[in-house]
Amino acid sequence: MITVNAMGDACPIPVIKAKKALQELQGPEVVEVLVDNEIAVQNVTKMASSTGGDVTSEKISEREFKVIIRTDRVMPRTEVKEEEVVCHPDRRSDTVVVIASDRMGEGNDALGAVLIKGFLFAVSQLDELPKAILFYNGGAKLTCEGSDSLEDLKTMEAQGVEIMTCGTCLDYYGLKEKLQVGSVTNMYSIVETMDQAGKIIRP
């Protein structure tokens, strides 16, 4: 693994450092980019995705983020100029996604589990990410240990998406100690977040 330290660097420097590291690869490799803000995560992610790399990211602390780029493609070596790198604005919209079940739709439960995983992955690939994703009732299971969607949720959280799970629901299912991403919230905050949303999406 190659580590690129872009902590404290303003855009476009994190993107330039990451792109140079990718161009220096001789073959399949993993590049880890460390940054200190969500906009940098968004811009490095967008650049890496455009090269065909498999990109995930994670919020380590309030001012520490990690972007992981896995690639098996050798990029052409060209000079990376600062003025040629575009810094994109915040990708988050005022949309809130509400997840009330660990299944999507009615009918076969196994199919429903596959569909909700696909849904959350699709949300993570939107050009404009939601500002928050709310999980309650059975949906609370998706933010906990064993969930197939944790990687996608952590990637969105690192890009500034608020991942909020109902505390009452976690208690009911005995999952409070197994929460793996985001924060615990209450019904007042859930209602307030939905009330302030420009658009609400319910799968």
Helix boundaries (H) for the chain: 13-23, 38-50, 109-124, 150-158, 167-172, 187-195
Q: Are 72 and 27 in contact (CB under 8 A)?
A: yes
Structure tokens belonging to residue 114: 């596959």
Secondary structure (3-state) at 79: coil
- ∠ CA 15-18-24, nearest 5°, is 140
Where does residue 142 fall: left (phi above 0), alpha (psi -120 to 50 degrees), or beta otherwise? alpha
**Catalytic residues, which ones?**
11
Quick one: CA torsion of 105, 108, 112, 118, rounded to 10 degrees? -110
Backbone angles phi, psi at 68, to 5 degrees: -105, 120
Structure tokens belonging to residue 113: 């589990």
